[in-house]
Structures are given as structure tokens and as C-alpha cells.
Amino acid sequence: MNKLYLIAALFLGLVIVISGIMMAVNNQNKNCDLINNQKAKDDCYHALAHETTNKAICDKISDTEETNHCFAHVPD
């Protein structure tokens, strides 16, 4: 019975660690506002719109051509 609890605890710990890593990676993508270079910021918003399939993010892109591309290619 003790082995079962140990395996369950290890599995739960692994799930928690993987979840934390995934959240950290996702949070990096959400910090587009912190980017100083406008082209890099626009690229970040464009990528985030694709990742989240949220066309509203396309409105944050300053370059008109890239904004239009974003709206055209982000799925509904």
C-alpha cells in the first residue's frame, strides 16, 4: 500500500511541475505589452492572436498591413 501512495505522490508532483512550466511559457507570450520594439511587439500580438484564436488581439497591432493579415488568418 505504501508503494501505491508513493507512486501517486510522484505522479501528482510531476503533474504539478509540468503545469507550472506550461503556465510560465504561456505567461511569457502574454507580456507583449512589455516589448519596446514595435515590430517585435506587433509580431508578439500576431502570434498570441493565433495561439489563442482571439481576433480582438489583432487590434493591438500598430502596423495596418499586419493587422489585416492577423484578422484574415486567425481562425474564428
pLDDT value at position 42?
95
In the numeric block, the cell 493579415 is attached to 69
Q: Is 9 a domain residue?
A: no
Give the number of domains in the chain. 1
Q: Is 29 a domain residue?
A: yes
What are the helix (H) ranges across 1-76? 2-29, 38-52, 64-73
Q: Is 52 a domain residue?
A: yes
Residue 51: how many other CB atoms lie within 10 Å? 13
In this predicted model, what pLDDT tens digit does every residue of 44-72 receive, in sequence order? 999 999 988 999 999 999 999 999 999 99
Q: What is the mean pLDDT of residues 24-32?
A: 62
pLDDT value at position 8?
73
Helix, strand, coil percentages in the chain from 3-state DSSP, rounded to 5: 80, 0, 20
Distance from C-alpha of 11 to C-alpha of 1, rounded to nearest angstrom: 16
Q: Is 37 a domain residue?
A: yes
> Which one is predicted more confidently, 17 or 70?
70
Compute the half-sphere exposure of residue 23: CA atoms within 13 Å on the CB side of its CA: 6
Structural domain including 30 reads: 24-76
